């Protein structure tokens, strides 16, 4: 239980809107795979891809109802083993966003990864949402 205390405290402070440092790999992997925001359950779909030019990821929030609740995509974190890549997200609107990094050689096509997004609600609170485990695709 003592090992879980920092994780639980970090997520509790995040839910309260307190500013906390970016979480570590263990905390990211403990992020929920679904969030209830304003009575709507949110999930995230991800599409990470690598090429000789770099690494990127596209994310899309999903809910059974539309429109999506008032949340903003704020950042993306990609985890594989102990390796971590993080980036701000360029939002395409409607819960979609993407990030790209040049000269990122940490991941190769076919490698399993977990993608976690950082969201901000309408009050500025930080929320974390983890997608299902996926594999890095081949970028064009």
| pLDDT score for 21 | 66
**Which structural domain, as residue segments, surrounds residue 57?**
5-138
> What is the SS3 assignment for 15-41?
HCCCCCCCCCHHHHHCCCCCEEECCEE
DSSP H/E element including 114: strand 112-121
| pLDDT score for 19 | 47
Say how many domains are in the chain: 1
pLDDT in tens, 35-70: 999 899 999 999 999 998 899 999 999 999 888 888
CA–CA separation, 18 vs 97, rounded Å? Answer: 24
Which CATH number belongs to the domain containing residue 35 in this structure? 2.60.40.1940
Mean model confidence pLDDT for the chain: 85
pLDDT in tens, 10-38: 444 344 444 446 789 999 999 999 999 98
């Amino acid at each position: 239980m003592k090992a879980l205390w920092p994780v639980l405290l970090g997520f509790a402070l995040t839910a309260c809107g307190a500013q906390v440092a970016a979480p570590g790999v263990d905390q990211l992997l403990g992020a929920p795979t679904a969030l209830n925001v304003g009575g709507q359950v949110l999930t995230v779909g991800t599409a990470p891809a690598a090429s000789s030019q770099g690494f990127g990821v596209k994310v899309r929030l999903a809910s059974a109802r539309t429109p999506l609740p008032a949340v903003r995509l704020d950042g993306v974190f990609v985890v594989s083993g102990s390796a971590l890549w993080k980036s701000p997200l360029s939002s395409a609107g409607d819960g979609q966003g993407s990030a790209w990094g040049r000269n990122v050689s940490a991941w190769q096509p076919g490698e399993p990864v977990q993608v976690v997004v950082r969201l901000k609600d309408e009050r500025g609170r930080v929320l974390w949402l983890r997608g299902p485990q996926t594999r890095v695709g081949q970028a064009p």
